[in-house]
Copies of this chain bind each other. A is one copy, B any other.
Amino acid sequence: MARRIALAGIGKIARDQHIPSIAASDDWELAATVSRSGGIEGVETHATMEALLSARPDIEVVSLTMPPASRYGYARAALEAGRHVMLEKPPGATLAEVQNLAAIAEERGLTLFASWHSREAAMARTARDWLEGRDILSVEIEWLEDVRRWHPGQDWVWEPGGLGVFDPGINALSLLTKVLPRPMHLTAATLTYPENRQTPIAADLKFVGPGAATTRARFDWRHDGDQTWAIRIATDAGEAVLSDGGASLAVDGAPVAAGADALSGEYPRLYGHLATLIDTSRSDVDLGPMIHVADAFALGRRETAAPFHF
């Protein structure tokens, strides 16, 4: 039987990904939404989380897709009302708030799923398996996109807590940390801020690791050519290149075929994982990608660039 789920925060990512993924799944039934700006056709809508929680005790799971800065209050209310919670990435505005949510979920025996959709990229597991047992020599990330195309008019990405270019960059870090067999840590960063904005539009990162390797990452939101989401991993036995955000993998230039489950897509797999977590009474809260970003903010050298306007 399908589990009833509510979706809170009906913006671009909810419409593009969450709603179709839930609709296509036999595991889930979209039973209600929480939205201040109108919900979606044919689904019960509540203006506040409190209204949803009191009206619908039968809904056991809430998925939160609003911007991270306001997510904590919703998540806490849902957990305290005994509901399982899934968080879009990044799971919150601060590390401490997500740790505190995880503690509440654990105390109450509920599932908290801090999702990282890029970890469900079609070729993530294949890449991880291929790397197993190989010596990694270097890693190079290029995550170059056009903010105007992916966040049209979304001023929240430029507000404190909005992460700026780390909003896409954290996808690269979530994918990479899933694929790598060993950890890394940041040693230097340069963050470029538009003169009129509070978050960076570009970032260059240097890491020590995995193992004896070094990792470089270049994130840029000013890229109006081909959108590039690529990770190049050189090993002692060939080079793997993840591209299209992990949807494609090539080894020494030759494309690797995707498995059958790759067809279902990142978000359908996320919701599949959520169902498994609830079935097995587990949580999945890995703050690793967010820790690398917080480290970059703390350690980064700040530079100033031209003002940005949508």
State whether A299 and B100 are in contact (beta carbons under 8 Å apart), knowing that A94-B186, A185-B72 are contacts in the complex. Answer: no
Residues of chain B within 8 A (CB-CB) of A297 are 294, 297-298
Give the residue among A93, A103, A293, A294 with the most B Cβ atoms within 10 A.
A294
* Complex alpha-carbon distance, A299 and B301, angstroms: 16
Q: Across the interface, do B300 and A96 meet the contact criterion of CB distance under 8 Å?
A: no
Q: Across the interface, do B95 and A301 meet the contact criterion of CB distance under 8 Å?
A: no
Q: Across the interface, do A301 and B160 meet the contact criterion of CB distance under 8 Å?
A: yes
Q: How far is the CB of A256 from chain B (nearest CB, A)?
A: 29
Q: Across the interface, do A96 and B295 meet the contact criterion of CB distance under 8 Å?
A: yes
State whether A96 and B301 are in contact (beta carbons under 8 Å apart), knowing that A294-B294, A294-B295, A295-B294 are contacts in the complex. Answer: no
Residues of chain B within 8 A (CB-CB) of A291 are 95-96, 99, 294
Interface residue? A223 (CB, 8 A)? no
Q: Across the interface, do A160 and B299 meet the contact criterion of CB distance under 8 Å?
A: yes
**Closest residue of B by beta carbon distance from A189:** B160
Residues of chain B within 8 A (CB-CB) of A209 are 100
Interface residue? A20 (CB, 8 A)? no
* Complex alpha-carbon distance, A189 and B93, angstroms: 12
**Closest residue of B by beta carbon distance from A300:** B160
* Complex alpha-carbon distance, A185 and B189, angstroms: 25
**Closest residue of B by beta carbon distance from A92:** B185
Q: Which of B161, B183, B188, B299 contacts A103 (CB 8 A)?
A: B183
Q: Across the interface, do A298 and B302 meet the contact criterion of CB distance under 8 Å?
A: no
Give the residue among A93, A94, A209 with the most B Cβ atoms within 10 A.
A94
Q: Across the interface, do A94 and B160 meet the contact criterion of CB distance under 8 Å?
A: no
Interface residue? A106 (CB, 8 A)? no
Q: Across the interface, do B298 and A183 meet the contact criterion of CB distance under 8 Å?
A: no
User: In chain A between 185 and 199, which residues have their CB closer than 8 angstroms to a CB of chain B?
Assistant: 185-189, 193, 198
Interface residue? A213 (CB, 8 A)? no
State whether A186 and B302 are in contact (beta carbons under 8 Å apart), knowing that A297-B294, A297-B297 are contacts in the complex. Answer: no
Interface residues, chain A, CB within 8 Å of chain B?
A: 72, 93-97, 99-100, 103, 160-161, 163, 183-189, 193, 198, 208-209, 288, 291-295, 297-302
A-B contact pairs, 20 of them (CB 8 A): A72-B185, A93-B295, A93-B299, A94-B295, A94-B299, A95-B291, A95-B294, A96-B183, A96-B184, A97-B186, A97-B208, A100-B183, A100-B185, A160-B300, A161-B299, A163-B298, A193-B302, A294-B297, A297-B297, A297-B298
**10 nearest interchain CB pairs?**
A96-B185, A294-B294, A94-B295, A97-B185, A297-B297, A297-B298, A161-B299, A160-B301, A95-B291, A294-B298
